[in-house]
Structure 1
């Protein structure tokens, strides 16, 4: 009997210790979660104390309206965006996914990112996402009780992923942001692993054209990295800027074999093939003679800028520039899988044609 009682007591003690340990771990976990949600360090290097609840957000940067929509799983918390972001929305594929996005206000933020703080106060956002050089605006927002969170204009994929993860932390959507950035890393690593093979073959001379004013992507443009990563040689890599305006004489001298057309302008391949732009003669450019001019895709946002769909932009470029090397994926299948995984959307073949600008690029 004594032995049995001693055994019962020992078991009881073990259970108490186990329960206490679990309780301690749970409290520690809760403490870490609470700590993670109460403050973040933004892309301006500021420690930001977050509101207890975030029901409304305003978004100054143009690309980030779509990114925040993607990470948050909808537009339910977005109350104000840049009018340029709304213009992009209207010409993108996103209306098919979220018609209610069209009702978001654009009256409080101008195209040049100026914030009408008094007007924004009427919408009562707890958070305003701004660029990391908007220090004056940050102080104005804090003065009226709106918490500013600074984002960085990504010049590389690491900056882009940091921004995505920061948004996830602020909105309590860490898992969604981590899943998305993991896909970004996976796709980039696929192309990095092909570097040795790329180095052994000739690169296509490519040019990224922003608009009909002949503004091209230079060395500091993220597209310069994407072009090189996917087996192209950017003819404007010697220009140490994000975008540089050049002339037809320079383009003729470069003579690109492939030209990409941005969605920041309405210019399409046919405009170059038919020499429709006044004062410009494209007839002697190899990319034009061989019909290798491509309008960049547009999904929930322009693929030109660092965005949620940048991995798809990389795959699309690879399939155009080095189709023999990058033949172990299918951009259409990957696009369909991406939309299902991250937007819970089932794309049709017609939807994919629309996103990839198949009509313009045929």
Structure 2
């Protein structure tokens, strides 16, 4: 993926329309977003419009038509980010009846389980780690709609359809797909205006951050994101969302482009390759338990620029992990922008922005202690420039 994004960046000035580029195949709901949150030049179904008295018809990202007699009231989600996104669009978990275990773990470990305690009681033993569904368990939840990965092959969808279930196959990977997902969920929930509002805000955030990034182009630090670190090194290479937002804020992903990791996506590398790249900033994802201290205390990494300058950071974990695309991505963009260019950040208002965004997305205002937990304030406390995110 290759989409792009000084002065302080403030939430009040961060509002929202962009040419959105993304990873993944073409999809009818994954077109470039217009300012209404729909899809430019799309049919009524692709824009998420209802058809017929009370009925809803949409086209999923496989090109399959989904017809509902009315707004979905019992939804099962198998793709990992879908559960949290559904809660954000719906501003509650009332209509979520099942999810993948990895989604449940993210909710348990993050603030979502505190904001909506009932989500921890939702069924989450309905599919394997390979997303192969336990059809009997899913059928038992009596869903109006099941959300499944659309790019993993018919073998994870056909058994559900053969059981008489309505299944939407969605693809994922970039900003364009995220915009499409928001539109899709808002449509099937019968809340198209809500989806349009979320997309409009996000698109204007993107434009603002992109303007900051363009102004810094060429002067940004070398950055490396670890999807996995604790047991084997896996980094974000070409055509990843991490590559997108590193470029967006004006940094350079050392694992992409000339001299980067071969191929695309998440790539396994060895220690020697990381040392040769010598990143100035290291980001540790939320898909394992690695923390900055793991690098600071290991002599193997002592010569790494990011270690010498104490610029290793654990990526925040909010209502969902901030590493992949989600409804909270604008907060990740701001957080990273202020870490990469701390002199531009001025008097940081990120904490205020978190409260504002969470109120908008979830109808909840996190406490200072909850924000500290989201930002991994304790784990990141010994890293450079992190004091800007401390509570005043």
- In the alignment, which residue of structure 1 is the partner of 2:277? 254
Residues 65 and 85 of structure 1 are in contact (CA less than 8 Å); yes or no, is this contact kept in structure 2?
yes
CA 1:37 to 1:231, structure 2 compared with 1: closer, same or farther past 3 Å? farther
1:39 Cα offset (Å): 0.7
Map Cα deviations across residues 295-347 of structure 1 (whole Å, 9 max, x no partner).
00000111111111111111111000012345486211111110112211122
- In the alignment, which residue of structure 1 is the partner of 2:373? 354
Map Cα deviations across residues 107-137 of structure 1 (whole Å, 9 max, x no partner).
2212211111122111111100011124233
CA 1:64 to 1:290, structure 2 compared with 1: closer, same or farther past 3 Å? same
Distance 1:37 1:206 in 2: 48
SS at match of 2:157: helix
Structure showing the higher helix proportion among its residues: 1
How many aligned positions are there? 325
2:362 aligned to which of 319, 322, 343 = 343
1:290 Cα offset (Å): 1.1
Residues 91 and 363 of structure 2 are in contact (CA less than 8 Å); yes or no, is this contact kept in structure 1?
no
Residues 73 and 189 of structure 2 are in contact (CA less than 8 Å); yes or no, is this contact kept in structure 1?
no
Q: Does 1:208 align with 2:231?
A: no
1:99 Cα offset (Å): 0.6
Distance 1:338 1:360 in 2: 23
Residues 260 and 293 of structure 1 are in contact (CA less than 8 Å); yes or no, is this contact kept in structure 2?
yes
1:301-316 to 2 correspondences below 5 Å: 301-316=320-335
Residues 319 and 331 of structure 1 are in contact (CA less than 8 Å); yes or no, is this contact kept in structure 2?
no
1:236-247 to 2 correspondences below 5 Å: 236-237=255-256, 238-239=260-261, 240-247=263-270
1:139 Cα offset (Å): 2.7
Map Cα deviations across residues 149-171 of structure 1 (whole Å, 9 max, x no partner).
121112x2122111111111111
1:242 Cα offset (Å): 1.3
SS at match of 1:270: helix
Distance 1:193 1:95 in 2: 35
1:194 Cα offset (Å): 2.8
Distance 1:326 1:135 in 2: 47
Distance 1:181 1:158 in 2: 10
The answer for unaligned runs of 5 or more in structure 1 is 1-31
1:267 aligned to which of 290, 298, 314 = 290
CA 1:103 to 1:315, structure 2 compared with 1: closer, same or farther past 3 Å? same
Greater shift, 53-62 or 189-198, is seen at: 189-198
- Greater RCO, CA 8 A, separation 6+: 2
1:80 Cα offset (Å): 1.3
Map Cα deviations across residues 246-267 of structure 1 (whole Å, 9 max, x no partner).
1111111111110000000100
Q: Which runs of 4+ in 1 moved over 4 A?
A: 326-329
1:274 Cα offset (Å): 0.6
SS at match of 2:378: helix
Q: Does 1:78 align with 2:101?
A: no
Residues 126 and 145 of structure 1 are in contact (CA less than 8 Å); yes or no, is this contact kept in structure 2?
no
- In the alignment, which residue of structure 2 is the partner of 1:300? 319
CA 1:328 to 1:159, structure 2 compared with 1: closer, same or farther past 3 Å? farther
RMSD: 1.7
- In the alignment, which residue of structure 1 is the partner of 2:67? 49
1:84-163 to 2 correspondences below 5 Å: 84-133=102-151, 134-154=153-173, 156-163=174-181
- For the pair shown, the structure with the greater C-alpha radius of gyration is 1
Map Cα deviations across residues 55-113 of structure 1 (whole Å, 9 max, x no partner).
21111101111111111121111111111111111111112101110111122212211
SS at match of 2:301: coil
**TM-score when scaled to structure 2?**
0.79
- In the alignment, which residue of structure 2 is the partner of 1:318? 337
The answer for unaligned runs of 5 or more in structure 2 is 1-48, 382-392
